């Protein structure tokens, strides 16, 4: 089990009302993909990078979910260079199931050469082996790995594990 630290505000907690709590997650899978096709429309002048993008994604998933990924991403790129992914697609699993994937988050403009990705996602499947995903909130962290032949995006996905709220 992976533990993510979060801060929760409670008025009664000294000295500043912050309580350090843990959020538990469990690993789901690693997603690797490229964008073999893309289009962009600039929305700003020379001083800004704001634009609307459209990408076709192709890749693979490894872990509890393993198979082939096909998707589209139509992110907005803000003036500060941050991408806001709007990513939908399917994972065709190695054992024949289809899992729909819907993702939102941020593609940060830093650091150069290995830009950070922080995202959340929902999954849907009608296959009995994967229906448990229909009620899972997934969070992911990753990076855009720039290379001589283009970029590879790598995201590690985790299930957020529900726990009762402490009194």
Strands (E), the chain: 2-9, 18-42, 51-63, 67-73, 76-77, 83-84, 86-93, 98-107, 114-124, 138-147, 150-160
pLDDT at 44 over 90: no
Mean pLDDT score, 101-120: 95
Nearest to 77, CA basis, from 22, 118, 40: 40
Mean pLDDT score, 5-30: 64
Nearest to 78, CA basis, from 43, 38, 39, 117: 43
44-48, 56-60, 64-68, 138-142: the lowest-pLDDT one: 44-48
pLDDT at 19 over 70: no
What's the CATH number for 28-160? Answer: 2.40.160.20
The confidence band for 3, taking pLDDT boundaries of 50, 70 and 90, is very low
pLDDT at 110 over 50: yes
* Domain parsing of the chain, residue ranges: 28-160
If you ran DSSP here, which 8-state letter would residue 161 be given?
P
If you ran DSSP here, which 8-state letter would residue 166 be given?
P
pLDDT at 1 over 70: no
- In angstroms, the CA 106 to CA 121 distance is 12
pLDDT-above-90 percentage for the chain:
72
pTM, to two decimals: 0.85
pLDDT at 100 over 80: yes
pLDDT at 69 over 70: yes
pLDDT one-digit tens code per residue, 148-159:
888 999 999 999
Residue 20 has a pLDDT of: 60
Mean pLDDT score, 61-79: 97
- In angstroms, the CA 134 to CA 102 distance is 12
Residue 18 has a pLDDT of: 54
pLDDT-above-70 percentage for the chain:
87
């Amino acid at each position: 089990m992976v533990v993510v630290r979060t801060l929760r505000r409670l008025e009664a907690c000294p000295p500043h009302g912050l309580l350090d709590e843990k959020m538990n997650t469990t690993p789901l899978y690693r997603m690797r993909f490229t964008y073999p096709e893309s289009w962009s429309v600039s929305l700003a002048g020379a001083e800004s990078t704001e634009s609307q993008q459209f990408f076709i994604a192709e890749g693979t998933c490894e872990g509890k979910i393993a198979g082939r990924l096909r998707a589209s991403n139509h992110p907005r790129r803000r003036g500060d260079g941050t991408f806001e992914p709007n990513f939908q697609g399917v994972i065709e699993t190695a054992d024949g199931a289809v899992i729909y994937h819907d993702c939102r988050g941020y593609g940060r403009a830093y650091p150069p050469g290995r830009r950070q990705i922080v995202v959340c996602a929902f999954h849907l499947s009608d296959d009995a082996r994967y229906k448990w995903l229909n009620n899972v909130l997934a969070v992911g962290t990753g990076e855009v790995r720039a290379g001589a032949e283009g970029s590879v995006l790598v995201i590690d996905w985790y299930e957020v594990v529900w726990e009762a709220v402490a009194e």
